[in-house]
Structure 1
Amino acid sequence: MKGRVFVIGLGLIGGSLALCIKKDHTHSTIIGFDINSEQARLAKMLGVIDEIAVDIQAGALDADLIIIAAPVNDTKTIIQSLSELPLKPDVIVTDTGSTKSKIVENAISLKERGITFIGGHPMAGSHKSGVSAAKEILFENAFYLLTPEKDAEKSKVILLKDWLKGTNAKFLTITPQNHDYLTGIVSHFPHIIAASIVRQTEKLSEEDSLIPRLAAGGFRDITRIASSSPEMWKDILINNRENLIELLNHWQEEMDWVKTLLEKENSSAIFDYFYQAKEFRDGLPIKEKGAIPAFYDLFVDVPDYPGVISEITGYLATEKISITNIRILETREDINGVLVISFQTEEDRQRAERCIRSYSSYATSIGS
C-alpha cells in the first residue's frame, strides 16, 4: 500500500509502529514529529522515519494515516489541534493510548469534520524507552485493541488493520468502555497494587534499615511494574478513575476477608485462598502476550572473578542475541553471584541459555 503516514510521538511505541509500517508497506512514506527534536533527529538517523515534520500541521495536512503515540492527556490536545486543520477527507486518525473512553469522546471534534477516528491500544512494551529501543517485533503476537465508534465504516477499520498488519499483532475490536474496564482489571489496577506495596515497604523501612536489603531479588521482581513512568500512570488513573475506584472497593473487600481469616485463624480457608489463586494463575496462558509486558529473564550462577560479566555478554554478542536489561542479585560473600539477564522474547531467552551452556564450563545452574 502506498501513502503518507504521520507518526506523532517517536518513542518506543511510535517508533516501533513506524518500523512495522515501513517493513510491510515499502512504498509508503513515514513522516515523524516529536516534541523532543532530538528524538525526531535520532528517528531519522536510524531510518525509523523518512522525513521530519517541523510541527503537527506540516505532517498532518497530506497524511493518509495519522498515528498519535503520545500520553493520554497530550493525545486529547493533539486531537483538538487536528480537528482545526484541513486534513484529507479520507484520512484515518488513530492513537495508542492506554485508556479509550475519554479519548474517543474527545474525538467527536474530528467526527464533526467528517474525519474517521479509530481508537487503538497495542498491548506491548519493553524495559527500554525512546526511539532507539524501537523494534519491528515489539507487537508480534501481542493483542492490539481497536475501539471504533458504533457507526464507524467497517472499510476504514479494515484499512487501518491493513496499514498495521506488519505488527503481526492479534487485533480485537471492542467498545471504548469495555476496553477501559478490561485494561483496568489486568493492567491499571495491578500497577496501583505494586506501587502500594513498594510505598508501604518504604514507610516501614524507616523503622528498620534491614528491610531494603531483604527486599532485593524476589521483592524487586514482583513489584517491577512499580518502576513505570509516574507521569504516564497519573494520566491513566485520572482517565480511568471510575473503573479503578470500583476495583479498589472490591480490593478492600478482599483484604477485609483475608484479615478476617487471619483473625479467626481459619487455616483451611487460608489454604483454599492460596490454592484457588494458584489454580487460576497456573491456568493462565503461558505464551500469550497480555496487558503487562512479560519478562523473559535468565538467572545465571557466575563465579566471582574480574571480567565474568563481559565474558557472558560477549558470548551473547557472538551469537547476535540482544538483551534488554542486566543486573546482579545481591548475594553473600564467598559464593557464586547470580546474574539476571532480560530478553525481548522467550525465543531469545532460550537461545541465550543454550549459548551460555555451550560456551562456559561453570554455568551449570541456569534457570528462568
Structure 2
Amino acid sequence: MITIFFKGLGLIGSSLAQAIRLAHPKIEILASDPQAGTTAYALDHGIIDQATIGFDQVERADLIVLASPVSQIEADLKALAKLNLKPGVIITDVGSTKSTVIKAAQPLLAQGVAFVGGHPMAGSHKSGVQAGRPDLFENAFYFQIPNGHLKATKQIQDLFSATHVKWLTVTPQEHDQIVSQISHLPHIIAAALVNQTNQRFKTQPLGMRLAAGGFKSVTRIAAADPTMWTAILQANGSIIRQQLTGFIDQLHQIDQAIGAGDQTAIHQFFNQAKVSREKLNQPARAPFYDLFLNLSDEVGAIAKVTHLLANHHLSLINIQLLEVRDEIDGILQLTFRTAAEVKTAATVLAPHYEIIDRGD
C-alpha cells in the first residue's frame, strides 16, 4: 500500500488529499497540521486516515507533500534532511515561490532524495481545510521543477491525476518571475486598494457598503490568507519589489497624464489595457472559449442558464460571475472547450439573455 504524508492541510493540502482519495481510494493518507481542529475535521470527513504531530510517522511515507506557507516549507525541508526517511521516498511541495524552496532542498538532493518542486496555480479567497475540494485545480496550470528526478515527477502526476491540471515544467527562476507578475503583484494591488478605500471611507461607512460590482471583482483576492502572503513576500521579495516599481511607474504616468489633461495619453492607457486584456480570452490561453451574458439578479438565475445548456448537451469547463450588484444585472462568464460549443450556446441563450461578447 502506498502511504502519503501531508504536512499542512489547509485549502491546497486538503484539496490535493481529496483528489488523491478520489482517484486512489486505497492509498493511505497521513497528515499533520499545527491547528488541531484541522486534522480532526479531516478525519471526520474521511480526507485522511490518520492524524499525526509534526513529522511523526513520516518514515512510513512513500510521498511527502509539504503544503504549508513557504517559510515553513523551507524549515520542513531542512528538518527532513536530518530524518531517516523511507528508501525511494519522493518529496514535493506546493509553495508559491520556488528559488528559496529549491535552495532549502539542497541537503536532501545531495543525499539523492527525489525532491520535485511544485506549485498549483489555483486557489480561493477562502482558506482552511473546510474550503478544500477535489476539483479546485481542474484545468489549472501546475508548475513542476523536477531537479533531475523525471521518474518521480511522473509518479506525482499519476498520483495527482484526479486534479485534472495542466502540467508545466519550468526552472525556479522562470517560475518566480512569472508568478510574481501574475499572482503576487495582483494580490498586493488588491490588498492596497481595499486598505486605501477603507481609509478613504473611514468617516463614510456607506462608501464601503456601496462598494460592489467591479470593485468586488478586482479586490476578491484581497481576502486571501495573510500568513501565507507574508511568507510569499518574504521569499520572493526582490523580484516583487522590481515589479512593484514598474507598477508604480505606470500609476505615475497616468497621474501625470490626468494632471496635464492629456486626452491622447489617457485614451492610450486604457486602450492598451483593453487590447491586452482581450487577448486573455483567445485560444492560446487555454485553449478554451468564453461567452459573456447579462444575468438578472434573481433566485435561480444561474440554474436556468445551466439547465438550458444541459438540455442541448453543452458541457461547461467553468462558470463565473464577474459582477454581482444588488438590483443590477451581473455578467456571467461561461467557458467552453470549443468554438463550436460557444456558437451553439449563444444560439440557445440569445432568445432569453443579452449576449455581451462571444470570446471565439
Contact 1:124–1:289 at 8 Å: present in 2 too? Answer: no
Contact 1:144–1:172 at 8 Å: present in 2 too? Answer: yes
Q: Using a 3 Å threshold, how does the CA distance of structure 1 residues 91 and 219 change in structure 2: closer, same or farther? A: same
Q: Using a 3 Å threshold, how does the CA distance of structure 1 residues 341 and 79 change in structure 2: closer, same or farther? A: farther
Partner of residue 36, structure 2: 37
The match for 2:214 among 207, 215, 218 is: 218
Partner of residue 5, structure 2: 6
Contact 2:293–2:355 at 8 Å: present in 1 too? Answer: no
Structure 1 counterpart SS, 2:271: helix
Partner of residue 58, structure 1: 56
The match for 1:237 among 218, 230, 233 is: 233
Partner of residue 247, structure 2: 251
Structure 2 counterpart SS, 1:138: coil
CA drift of 1:183 comes to 0.4
Structure 1 counterpart SS, 2:75: helix
> Which amino acid letter does the alignment assign opposite residue 82 of structure 1?
L
Structure 2 counterpart SS, 1:76: helix
> Which amino acid letter does the alignment assign opposite residue 258 of structure 2?
L
Partner of residue 21, structure 1: 20
Cα deviation code 1:62-116 (max 9, x no counterpart): 1110001111111122222222210012111101111111111111122233322
Partner of residue 271, structure 2: 275
Contact 1:57–1:85 at 8 Å: present in 2 too? Answer: no
CA drift of 1:269 comes to 2.2
Partner of residue 306, structure 1: none
CA drift of 1:281 comes to 0.2
Partner of residue 177, structure 2: 181
Q: Using a 3 Å threshold, how does the CA distance of structure 1 residues 44 and 288 change in structure 2: closer, same or farther? A: farther
> Which amino acid letter does the alignment assign opposite residue 4 of structure 1?
T
Contact 2:18–2:47 at 8 Å: present in 1 too? Answer: yes
Cα deviation code 1:145-189 (max 9, x no counterpart): 01233xx23222222222222211111011111111100000000
Number of aligned residue pairs: give it.
334
Supply the distance in 2 between the matched residues of 1:194 and 1:158 (Cα, whole angstroms).
Answer: 36
Supply the distance in 2 between the matched residues of 1:222 and 1:186 (Cα, whole angstroms).
Answer: 14
Supply the distance in 2 between the matched residues of 1:278 and 1:36 (Cα, whole angstroms).
Answer: 44
Do residues 125 (structure 1) and 123 (structure 2) align?
Answer: yes
Q: TM-score, normalised by structure 2?
A: 0.79
Q: Using a 3 Å threshold, how does the CA distance of structure 1 residues 61 and 209 change in structure 2: closer, same or farther? A: closer
Supply the distance in 2 between the matched residues of 1:54 and 1:126 (Cα, whole angstroms).
Answer: 26
CA drift of 1:365 comes to 8.6
Supply the distance in 2 between the matched residues of 1:5 and 1:37 (Cα, whole angstroms).
Answer: 19
CA drift of 1:272 comes to 1.7
CA drift of 1:214 comes to 4.0
Partner of residue 102, structure 2: 104
Supply the distance in 2 between the matched residues of 1:298 and 1:90 (Cα, whole angstroms).
Answer: 54
Do residues 171 (structure 1) and 167 (structure 2) align?
Answer: yes
CA drift of 1:328 comes to 7.5
Partner of residue 137, structure 1: 135
Do residues 160 (structure 1) and 151 (structure 2) align?
Answer: no
Cα deviation code 1:251-306 (max 9, x no counterpart): 2222222122223322122212211110110110378989xxxxx9995423xxxx
Q: Using a 3 Å threshold, how does the CA distance of structure 1 residues 268 and 57 change in structure 2: closer, same or farther? A: closer
Q: Using a 3 Å threshold, how does the CA distance of structure 1 residues 298 and 137 change in structure 2: closer, same or farther? A: farther
Q: Using a 3 Å threshold, how does the CA distance of structure 1 residues 30 and 298 change in structure 2: closer, same or farther? A: farther
CA drift of 1:233 comes to 1.2
Supply the distance in 2 between the matched residues of 1:208 and 1:48 (Cα, whole angstroms).
Answer: 45
> Which amino acid letter does the alignment assign opposite residue 142 of structure 1?
A
Q: Using a 3 Å threshold, how does the CA distance of structure 1 residues 288 and 60 change in structure 2: closer, same or farther? A: farther
CA drift of 1:135 comes to 2.1
Supply the distance in 1 between the matched residues of 2:263 and 2:194 (Cα, whole angstroms).
Answer: 28
Cα deviation code 1:114-153 (max 9, x no counterpart): 322111101111343333332222111110001233xx23
Partner of residue 45, structure 2: 46
Q: Using a 3 Å threshold, how does the CA distance of structure 1 residues 47 and 298 change in structure 2: closer, same or farther? A: farther
Do residues 67 (structure 1) and 65 (structure 2) align?
Answer: yes
Contact 1:142–1:288 at 8 Å: present in 2 too? Answer: no
Do residues 198 (structure 1) and 194 (structure 2) align?
Answer: yes
1:341-360 correspondence to structure 2 within 5 Å: none
CA drift of 1:210 comes to 4.9
Contact 2:19–2:163 at 8 Å: present in 1 too? Answer: yes
CA RMSD of aligned residues (A): 3.7
> Which amino acid letter does the alignment assign opposite residue 10 of structure 2?
G
Contact 1:301–1:365 at 8 Å: present in 2 too? Answer: no
Q: Which has the higher mean CA deviation after the structures are superposed, 118-127 or 128-137?
A: 128-137
Identity of aligned residues (%): 36
> Which amino acid letter does the alignment assign opposite residue 259 of structure 2?
E
Cα deviation code 1:199-248 (max 9, x no counterpart): 22222223655532442332222211112122211111111111111111
Structure 2 residue runs of 5 or longer lacking an equivalent are 287-291, 308-318, 337-344
Contact 1:217–1:329 at 8 Å: present in 2 too? Answer: yes
Contact 1:300–1:366 at 8 Å: present in 2 too? Answer: no
Contact 2:32–2:55 at 8 Å: present in 1 too? Answer: no
Q: Using a 3 Å threshold, how does the CA distance of structure 1 residues 297 and 215 change in structure 2: closer, same or farther? A: farther
Q: Using a 3 Å threshold, how does the CA distance of structure 1 residues 55 and 212 change in structure 2: closer, same or farther? A: closer
Supply the distance in 2 between the matched residues of 1:62 and 1:341 (Cα, whole angstroms).
Answer: 50
